[in-house]
A = this chain, B = another copy of it.
Amino acid sequence: MSDLLERLRGRGWRLTAQRRVVAEVLDGEHVHLTADEVHARAVERLPEISRATVYNTLGELVCIGEVLEVATDGRAKRYDPNAHHAHQHLICSGCGAIRDVHPLGDPLAALPEAERFGFTVSGAEITYRGLCPQCTNRP
């Protein structure tokens, strides 16, 4: 994700150790971490990093479109580093596992003009729900 660091520098961001670590954490595991999970992993590499900085950095990355914010359950938001490839999410109702998925076609096409109520519609997020293989084979 050094290219991400380059892009940030290109935007005039100061490249601090803290921002570097947050970027590394997001890059390291391609999962959907909560802010607190990002903080926990960041602390392993930079013990003095504060929660506030992790929140700030995640918020900034979301703002510039480098990371997606996923709010699926009313609990903690999750941060998805896969922002440059359009995708949707499949979530296990049993254990909460999240997978990136790629449905066919353009979701926006399914919404007729008459159902847009004058809105300028710009995007669609789909959350598929179900049970993962492990949770399916278990009461």
Contact = CB atoms under 8 A, between A and B. Distances in A.
Secondary structure at the A interface, as helix, strand, loop or mixed, is: mixed
- Copy count, this protein chain: 2
Given A71-B71, A74-B69, A133 B119 contact: yes
A74 B72 CA distance: 8
A107 to B, nearest CB: 6
Interface in A81-139: 90, 92-93, 99, 101-105, 107-108, 110-112, 115-133, 136
A128 B103 contact: no
What 9 A-B pairs come out closest when comparing CB atoms?
A: A71-B74, A121-B130, A118-B133, A103-B110, A119-B130, A74-B77, A101-B115, A120-B131, A125-B127
